[in-house]
Amino acid sequence: MSTKHLLDPSLLPLLDFAPPFQFSLENLQRFRDRGLAAAVLGDSNAQGVKREAIIIPGPDFDVPCLLYSPLDANTSSAYLHIHGGGYVAGSIEGSDAMNTRIAAQLGVVVLTVGYRLAPEHPVPAPLDDCYAALGWLHQQADALGIDRQRIAIGGESAGGGLAAALAIHARDLGEFAICHQHLTYPMLDDQTGTDAAPGDPLVGEFVWNRHCNGFGWSCYLGDMPAQAPFVPARVESVKGLPPTWMFTVGLDLFRDENIDYAQRLMAAGIATELVVLPGACHAFQWVPDSPLTQRYIHSHLEALGKALN
C-alpha cells in the first residue's frame, strides 16, 4: 500500500532525490560517500559567523567538530548539535547551513560533533564522543563567553536519538548541566518497525523505512544489549531530564515513538513542546523551498531561541 497520496505535493521531488536505500555492509560506504559529496560548506562569514574546525580530546578518540561563533553578538548560550544518519552515516559538514543560521539568527555558539559511526564503532563510542563535546563546552565556557547553565543539545534522526541518550547519560552522571533538548524526529526505539512492534502501516515508506531502521540499530548496538541510555525509549524513568522540544512528522517511521516519548516527559512534569507536522516524511527538509520546510525552520529557531533566551 502506497502512502504517496498522503505526502504534501511540495515534497514529491524528495522521492526521486532520496529513494529508500537498501543498506548492507557492502554498500554502506557508497551511501556515506554520496552524503559527503553533497555536503558543501557555505560562506559563514557572509552571515556574520566564524566557523572553525576543532579537535576535542576524548577518552580514546580525538573528536572532530565544527564550532560556530557569532562575530557581532554577545553570546551567552550554546547549542550542541549532533548530526543524523541512522547511526551509520552523516557528517558535521552536512548540517552547515542550519548551524550557521542558528548562530547568526539566535546569536549563540554552536558546536557540532563528528562522532564515530557504526558499525565500525558501535556503542558506547558515539555517545562517548558526544559526552566529550558536552564536557568541552562546559570546560571552555569562560573562554567562549557562555553560561554553563544555558547549554542546549539537539539533533535530527539518529542525532536526535544521541541527544536524547546524552541527556539521560548526563543526568545520571550529574557532571554537566543541560538546559534543553531539541529533538527533530529522533531515533529512540530499537523495536520500531520490527515484528514485535511493526507500527502503523501508514508510516515509514519514504527515505527511512523498516529495513533501514533494523540495519541502523543492529550496527549501532553491535553485541551490546538494547538498553538505556543508548536506546532512550528503554530508559526506566525520564524524571530529571531537561525541558524538550519534540518535532516529528505524520509519515515518519519514528512518529509514534516520538509521541510516546514526549508523553512520558509530560507525565513526568517536564516542560515539553510536541509538534506533529502532517504531510511530511523523514528528511523532508531536503526540499528547501517546500512551505513545510519553512514552517520547520521557523518553529525550530523560535523554540530554540526561547529555550536559550
Provide the annotated active-site residues: 157, 252, 282
Task: Return d(Cα 33, Cα 176) in angstroms, integer.
Answer: 35
Up-side HSE of residue 98: CA atoms within 13 Å toward CB?
27
C-alpha cell at 269: 512534569
Backbone φ, ψ for residue 199 (5° rounding): 80, 180
How many C-beta atoms surround the C-beta of residue 271 within 10 A?
12
As a whole number of Å, the end-to-end CA separation of the chain is: 45
Task: Return d(Cα 257, Cα 126) in angstroms, integer.
Answer: 21
Could you tell me the CA-to-CA distances from 231 to 46, 191, 209, 246 in Å, in that order? 39, 10, 18, 17
DSSP letter string, 223-264: TS-S-TTTSGGG-S--TTPPPEEEEEETT-TTHHHHHHHHHH
Task: Return d(Cα 234, Cα 231) in angstroms, integer.
Answer: 6
**Of 156, 161, 127, nearest to 231 (Cα)?**
161
Backbone φ, ψ for residue 144 (5° rounding): -85, -10
Residue type, 119: P
